[in-house]
């Protein structure tokens, strides 16, 4: 990331920081950011609060129509860094897998349908290039001019009101071990892996021992069958008369 910032500010780069390497780094950062938002849980934890604030402002604007004393400002601006913009794009499901540049912004507009008074829709645009008009963002499951009711429904699993309570609900206890930090997760994974490996080795050992014993019994039985004659003559315990006379 430091090299990318130096390149953006036209600072001198190390000799080994070639353009090809910089391009590969940008691709890796984009891939890493993509996997940060590939599940509903990650979207909720990273951008859920901002989505909740959006919905709150939208509802306040709609409910205050015709009430000048309560009507909120017509324009609101949030000054944030590129990570917050990335969180918003990722939570909305419109991230384009490109690094968020400086001075990028997400434009959110609320409109009232003049043909249907009381019906509102919302639209998002993304401005990340100075010489290009903002790109239209279409949320999955909706259209560019997305009705507010549809937008709220699509974001119902992303909305997050309280981060602390959400994190506490994820604090699972297994055998008395808290999974609220990475160390415990790694430790538990190693322990489970060792147990599985031990059971696997035990099963392999038992199978090999049983097979070896079975083979030994079969071999011993075959040897006896080959060495013992089919008819064994019986010995006379009492001699005849002629033998006695001799």
- Please give the structure tokens belonging to residue 14: 């190390």
pLDDT tier at 102, thresholds 50, 70, 90: confident
Q: Where are the alpha helices (DSSP H) in the chain?
A: 2-8, 19-35, 40-63, 82-92, 148-154, 163-169, 182-227, 241-245
Q: What is the pLDDT of residue 223?
A: 52
Q: Which residue has the tokens 């690094």?
A: 99
Mean pLDDT over all residues of the chain?
Answer: 77
78, 118 contact by CB (below 8 A): no
- Secondary structure letter of residue 101 according to DSSP: P
What average pLDDT score do residues 78-90 get?
Answer: 85
What average pLDDT score do residues 141-166 get?
Answer: 87
The percentage of residues in the chain with a pLDDT greater than 70, rounded to a whole number, is: 74
Residue 206, pLDDT > 80, answer yes
Q: Of 104-108, 129-133, 179-183, 197-201, give the lowest mean pLDDT range.
A: 179-183
Q: Which of 48, 62, 11, 238 is nearest to 159 (CA)?
A: 48
Q: What is the pLDDT of residue 135?
A: 92
Q: Which of 35, 29, 33 is nearest to 2 (CA)?
A: 29
d(CA 48, CA 29): 22
Residue 149, pLDDT > 50, answer yes
SS3 category, 112: strand
Q: What is the pLDDT of residue 174?
A: 47
Q: Tell me the CA distances in angstroms from 34 to 21, 40, 91, 96, 220, one per residue in order.
A: 20, 13, 11, 9, 65
Q: Tell me the CA distances in angstroms from 14 to 2, 26, 28, 61, 68, one per residue in order.
A: 12, 17, 19, 52, 59
Q: What is the pLDDT of residue 41?
A: 80
49, 78 contact by CB (below 8 A): no
């Amino acid at each position: 990331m430091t090299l990318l910032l130096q390149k953006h500010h036209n600072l001198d780069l190390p000799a080994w920081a070639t353009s090809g390497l910089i391009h590969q780094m940008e691709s890796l950062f984009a891939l890493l950011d993509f996997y940060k938002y590939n599940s509903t849980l990650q979207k909720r934890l990273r951008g859920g609060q901002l989505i909740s604030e959006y919905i709150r402002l939208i509802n306040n604007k709609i409910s205050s129509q015709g009430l000048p004393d309560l009507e909120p400002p017509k324009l609101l601006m949030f000054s944030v860094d590129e990570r917050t913009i990335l969180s918003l794009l990722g939570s909305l499901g419109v991230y384009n897998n490109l690094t968020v540049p400086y001075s990028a912004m997400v434009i959110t507009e609320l409109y009232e349908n003049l043909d249907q008074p009381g019906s509102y829709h919302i639209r998002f645009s993304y401005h990340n290039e100075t010489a290009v008009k903002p790109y239209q963002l279409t949320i999955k499951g909706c259209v560019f001019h997305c009705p507010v009711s549809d937008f709220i429904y699509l974001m119902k699993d992303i909305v997050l009101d309280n981060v602390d309570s959400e994190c506490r609900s994820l604090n699972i206890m297994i055998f008395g071990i808290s999974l609220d930090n990475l160390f415990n997760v790694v430790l538990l994974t190693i322990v489970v892996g060792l147990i599985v490996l031990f059971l696997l080795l035990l099963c392999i050992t038992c199978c090999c021992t049983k097979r070896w014993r079975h083979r030994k019994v079969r071999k011993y039985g075959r040897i006896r069958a080959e060495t013992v004659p089919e008819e064994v003559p019986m010995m006379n315990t009492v001699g005849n008369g002629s033998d006695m006379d001799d």
